[in-house]
């Protein structure tokens, strides 16, 4: 298994540094949520700055980065029309998640995957989630690293798991498997409740709450209303 860090300036720009990694299982990315008083120009040319700055929370950089992951890993071919950001649910990465924070002024990228001949004692795998309660998708991600699981992971198999990372999103219509939810209308918006839902589903399968779940404004990160799970395990 390998892990590599890189920095880049344009969130949907040249990601050739990681494009040679076709076996990457996950690419977590942390990017800036640019303060309004720090922006003189739109983050992406021809896209209004208001899209990036005045959404609640500001979503433009976050979602642009997700498309940058898809470009860098060869899941999508460019160029991508900037007007597709936040609007085209058919454009997404199956192997990456992005997060934004006001504490950063540059982007950070971590790539995790498998490579033949690696000296590491760890392996990684991933699988997409159809929605926030896709427990079978979590199990499929665990099986991709050789973890045997039908319901909840057994104690012996659980000892092999280093960590499980989940990324999910709320469907744009607020529904989960056809049923209306309050994930888009709750006073906390859709971030804390969505993270709680995804985290509980993953923890219930793993049998351990010590997992990582990020959910909410996860558009372009997995299929619409879904997401992905990545696993690092002992070989």
Helices (H), 2-116: 16-19, 49-53, 60-72
Rounded to an integer, what distance in angstroms lies between the CA atom of residue 81 and that of residue 87? 11
Whole-number pLDDT of residue 77: 86
How does 160-178 read in b/e, with b if 16+ C-beta sit within 10 Å? bbeebbbbbbbbeebebee
Dihedral, CA atoms, 203, 208, 214, 216, nearest 10 degrees? 30
**Furthest-apart CA atoms within the chain: distance in Å:** 55
What is the tens place of the pLDDT at every residue in 65-123? 888 888 888 888 878 888 888 778 888 888 888 877 777 677 778 888 888 888 889 99
For residue 104, how many other CB atoms are within 10 A of its CB?
A: 15
Q: Predicted confidence band at 27 (pLDDT cuts at 50, 70, 90)?
A: low
Rounded to an integer, what distance in angstroms lies between the CA atom of residue 188 and that of residue 92? 25
Closest CA to 31 of 56, 3, 60, 54: 60
Q: Which of 11-20, 22-31, 90-99 has the lowest mean pLDDT?
A: 11-20
What is the tens place of the pLDDT at every residue in 197-231? 999 999 999 999 999 998 877 788 888 888 999 99
* Residue pointed to by tokens 């709680």: 196
């Amino acid at each position: 298994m390998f892990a590599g860090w890189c920095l880049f300036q344009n969130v949907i720009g040249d990601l050739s540094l990681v494009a040679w990694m076709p076996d990457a299982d996950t690419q977590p990315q942390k990017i800036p949520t640019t303060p309004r008083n720090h922006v003189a120009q739109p983050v992406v040319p021809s896209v209004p700055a208001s899209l990036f700055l005045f959404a609640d929370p500001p979503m433009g950089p976050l979602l642009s980065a997700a498309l940058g992951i898809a470009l860098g890993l060869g899941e999508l071919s460019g160029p991508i029309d900037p007007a597709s950001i936040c609007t085209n649910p058919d454009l997404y990465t199956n192997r990456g998640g992005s997060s934004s924070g006001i504490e950063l002024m540059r982007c950070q990228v971590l790539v995790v995957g498998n490579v033949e001949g690696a000296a590491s004692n760890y392996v990684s795998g991933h699988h997409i989630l159809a929605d926030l309660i896709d427990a079978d998708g979590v199990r499929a991600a665990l099986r991709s690293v050789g973890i045997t699981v039908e319901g909840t992971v057994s104690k012996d198999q659980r000892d092999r798991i280093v960590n499980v990372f989940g990324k999910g999103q709320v469907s744009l219509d607020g529904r989960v498997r056809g049923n209306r939810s309050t994930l888009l209308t709750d006073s906390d918006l859709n971030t804390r409740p969505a993270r709680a839902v995804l985290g509980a589903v993953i923890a219930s399968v793993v049998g351990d709450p010590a997992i990582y779940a990020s959910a909410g404004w996860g558009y372009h990160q997995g299929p619409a209303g879904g997401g992905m799970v990545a696993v690092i395990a002992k070989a």
